[in-house]
Structures are given as structure tokens and as C-alpha cells.
Chain A
Amino acid sequence: MNRMPQSVESVKLANESDATAIERTLAGDRDAFRVLVERHSHSVFRLAYRLTGNQHDAEEVVQEAFLRAYQKLSQFAARANFGTWVYRIAANYSIDLTRRKRKEDARRETPAISTQDNPELDLMEMLPDTAPSPERLAQSLELRGQMEQALAALSHAERTAFVMRHWEGCGIEEIAAVLNSNSGAAKNTVFRAVQKLRQMLAPFFENKTQARAVGTQS
């Protein structure tokens, strides 16, 4: 019978705006922060998963992002919306976490086969230099593996820019803020990411002879 009060409470929570929840949290009502956590957890998880590439790290990022957001809530100043702000914290923490893990991996592994030591490594060199065949295209598992590798081979900035733009639909200004750069540079980073992904996945999608030379305008 205690379902009713719970549902009334959850409706109340769902209707509360981010601004009101922030105001209440800052006034000392710690539970008001729960509204923000429950509302934004899924989208932050999606971003974190795409940036880190695994569930465990993504969950760590989500928790850490909300902890940091809570600790710095008094600095929030309502200039941006909360979702964007927590996104930015999560993206930055993802970059730090991935970088830290890569360093740890680099210490453990032998450098010969590690693509993670060199994020700029061109995956094309690792792929067999043959024209695509229907069988190969059918090997979706292999393609999936290559796509994950291609994403992992992007630099932190390129991956962040690509994920935010392509999957999360973020604006260029928002991406620039996360990358600590200007909008021109952010646009360029998105382009570089798409271009690299194309190059790395080219054997699966196109005959190399079909691909136009990069940047030609004849």
C-alpha cells in the first residue's frame, strides 16, 4: 500500500526542474540532488561508455561526474544547463581516466603490439591490403572489432569530438568547451575524426581505387 506515496513522490521529482533541484540542493537539501542524478545518469552513461569503450569505466565516470558536480555545484552559477555541465565534467574525467589506463597498460605491455601507446597509429597498416569481398563484409563481428579498434585509435580529442557530435548531437561550441579549444578547432577535430575512421575502415566499405584523394577539389 505504500506504492501510492512513492509514485506521488516520483511524479513530484520528475516534474521538478533542474534549476529548482539545484536551488534546493544548494540550500542544504541533499536529497534534491537525486533528481538530477536520476534524470541525467543514462545520458552521461551513454557518453562515458562511448568515450571509454567499456561498461566498468563508464560506470566509474558516471559516479565520479556526479560526485564532482555535487562538490562544485556552488560554482555552477546557472550559466549553462546542468546536463551540459555534467556532460563536460564526465567527458573530462573520461579523458583523464582513459589516459591514465593507457599509461598503466603501456607499462605492463610490450610496445610492439600495443596500438594504445600511439593513438595516432594508422590502423590501415594493420589491415590486409586487399579489396573487400562480400564474405568479409558479412563478417560483422570482425567489422565490429575493427570499428572498436578504429575508435580506440583516435586521439582523445578526436574521439571526444566525434562522440559528442555524431552520437550525442552536441553543438560545436559545447565540444569546443570540453576540448578547451575554439569552435574552428573543434570543427576541425570532428572532421579529422571522421576522416580517420573512414581511412581505417576503408577496406570494409570501399575499393581503395574508388576513394577520392583527401581534400581534392578539382
Chain B
Amino acid sequence: MKHFTEEQLIAYREGELSQRHAIANHLSRCEECRAELARIEAVLAALDTLQVPDPGEDYGRRVWQQIAPRLPERPGSWWRAWFEPRRLAALGAVAALILVAFIAGRITKRSNPGNTAENREQVRERILVVAVGEHLGRSEMMLVELSNADPKGSKQKQVNISTEQRRAEDLLEENRLYRQMALQEGDAGLASVLDELERVLLDVAHGPQEVTPAQLEAIRQRIESRGILFKVRVVNQELQQRQQGVRPLPAPNNSQKQERNKV
């Protein structure tokens, strides 16, 4: 008689659906496999006797009392975080880009007084193009560095990715803003790429500071399987082309957005 492996029996015990029917059938006929499953059960049942101390009914209230004085006025206090020294440089760069875009918009406005609404839209798009291009460039750099954090060949058991994590946190805030802007602009393709990027950034930002080579490989595979680096590169390249091509400011080009939707 063909027996099931320990792995299959554990999976069955854990509620795994594949081969469930076949295993159940087999168990009803095979004493050896039943005994094996019983041994697995016995170990797990014994482990269940390990008690977790009861922290008390009012534990939630005590936790609140302990953390409440340490909470800032507003969650995230994102505007405060933006003024941390490590973010000032990025903030300055974004502010400069907005200022340039604003001045460019004003100049264009003077030269085409009859077309104000269209110009305003173009200025907004210009901001999006320049700022998002910068953002994608920095994101790409972070993802490439993460992909190249190489423990191979060394005896390193853990890889510290805290630097990449901090950068991912910074990029995450920006990414959310740009994604919302892209949605407002009706640029679904860009918003979709930014959304995917956000998921990767979230994974990195909320993961452990030190990862095993296997975990790092899993992060790499996730980046790779989503094709996120490729998408970021394509969109960034296209934004750069648009940036070069919008002098003087052209009308918003829907076909470009449609093309990006295909990426």
C-alpha cells in the first residue's frame, strides 16, 4: 500500500485542501498512517498545553495608559516627519521642482492669455511629470540596491536592510501623494504603476530590519515577479521624454497615457 508522507499528513492536519479526500480515504484503511497522524497529533496536543499567561481583563486599558503619553498629536504626524533632517533634502528638491513648474506656468500663461484653464492643467501635469520622474528614479535606485544586497559567497547569516527600509519609508509617503495626484489627473496607468510600487515599498518598510539570505531572495523574487523595476524604468523613461517634449507645453496627450496603461 502506498503511504502518505509526513509532510502530506501534516498538511492534511493543518487543513490543506489538496489531496484531502484521498488522504481521508487512505487513513480510513491504513493503520500505519493513522498511527503516524496520531503521533503528530500527540506532539501538537502537548504543545497546546503550553499556557500563555493571562495579562488580565484590563490589559488593553493598561497598554493604552502606557502608550498614550508617547503618542504624537496626530497619527503619522507625517508633516513633522517630513521636516526630519534626512528628508529635508528630498523636500527641498520637490519644492524647487514645484516652483520651477509654477514659474513656467506663469510665463506660458502670459503668452497665451486666452487659454488659462488649459495652461493650468499643463502646469499641473508638468509638476507631476518632473516630480514623479525624480521619485521613480530614486525608487528604482533603492530597489536596485536592495536587489544587489548580496550575501552570496559570504557566510553572512543575516542581511541588514535597515537603510533601504528607511528610504522605503520616505518614498512611501511621496508615493502616496503622487499616486493620488495621478488619479486626480486621470492617469490610470501611472497610478497603477505607483500602486504596485507602493505595495513593494510597504513590504520593505514594514519587514524586519535584518533578513536571512532566503528572505532577501524572496523579496527579490517578488520585485522580479511583479516586473516592478521594468515598469518603473519604462514609466520613468516616458516621463523624461514627455519632459523634453513639452517645450512649449503641448496639450495633454491621452495616447501616451493609454500606451502606459499597456505596460
Which residue numbers of A lie inside 8 Å of B, CB to CB? 25-26, 28, 30, 33-34, 37-42, 45-46, 49-50, 55, 59, 62-63, 66-67, 70-75, 77, 88-89, 92, 95-96, 99, 143-144, 147-148, 151, 155, 157, 165-167, 177, 179-182, 185, 187, 190-191, 194-195, 197-198, 201, 204-206, 210-212, 214-218
Interchain CB contact under 8 A, A182 and B76: no
Out of A38, A46, A75, name the residue touching B64 (CB < 8 Å).
A38
Interchain CB contact under 8 A, A66 and B67: yes
Out of A74, A147, A194, name the residue touching B78 (CB < 8 Å).
A74
Interchain CB contact under 8 A, A215 and B6: yes
Give bound CA distance, A190 to B73, whole Å.
Answer: 41
* Interface 9-residue window, one of B52-60, B111-119, B238-246, B251-259: B52-60
Interchain CB contact under 8 A, A181 and B71: no
Q: What number of B residues sit within 8 Å (CB to CB) of A?
A: 64
- Asked whether any CB of chain A lies closer than 8 Å to the CB of B263, the reply is no
Interchain CB contact under 8 A, B71 and A217: no
Q: Which residues of B contact A157 (CB under 8 A)?
A: 212, 214-215
Interchain CB contact under 8 A, A96 and B3: no
Interchain CB contact under 8 A, B71 and A30: yes
4 A-B pairs with the lowest CB-CB distances in the bound complex, closest first: A38-B60, A74-B76, A73-B75, A41-B60
Tell me the chain B residues, 37-71 only, with Cβ under 8 Å from chain A: 39-40, 42-44, 46-50, 52-53, 55, 59-61, 63-64, 66-68, 70-71
- Asked whether any CB of chain A lies closer than 8 Å to the CB of B4, the reply is yes
Q: Taking A73-B75, A190-B14 as contacts, is the C-beta distance between A147 and B47 under 8 angstroms?
A: yes
Residue of B nearest to A197 (CB): B43
Between A and B, 5 residue pairs with Cβ closer than 8 Å are A28-B73, A55-B53, A75-B172, A217-B5, A218-B3
Which residue numbers of B lie inside 8 Å of A, CB to CB? 2-8, 10-11, 14, 16, 32, 35-36, 39-40, 42-44, 46-50, 52-53, 55, 59-61, 63-64, 66-68, 70-78, 158, 172-173, 176, 202-203, 205-212, 214-215, 218-219, 221-222
Interchain CB contact under 8 A, B44 and A194: yes
For the complex with contacts A166-B44, A180-B222, 4 further pairs of A-B residues with Cβ separation under 8 Å are: A70-B67, A180-B215, A210-B35, A215-B5
Interchain CB contact under 8 A, B208 and A92: yes
Q: Taking A73-B75, A92-B208, A180-B215 as contacts, is the C-beta distance between A198 and B40 under 8 angstroms?
A: yes
Interchain CB contact under 8 A, B75 and A26: yes
Q: Which residues of B contact A63 (CB under 8 A)?
A: 63, 66-67
CB distance from B64 to the nearest CB of A (A): 5
Max chain A CB contacts within 10 Å: which of B4, B47, B61? B47
Interchain CB contact under 8 A, A50 and B52: yes
Interchain CB contact under 8 A, A144 and B50: yes
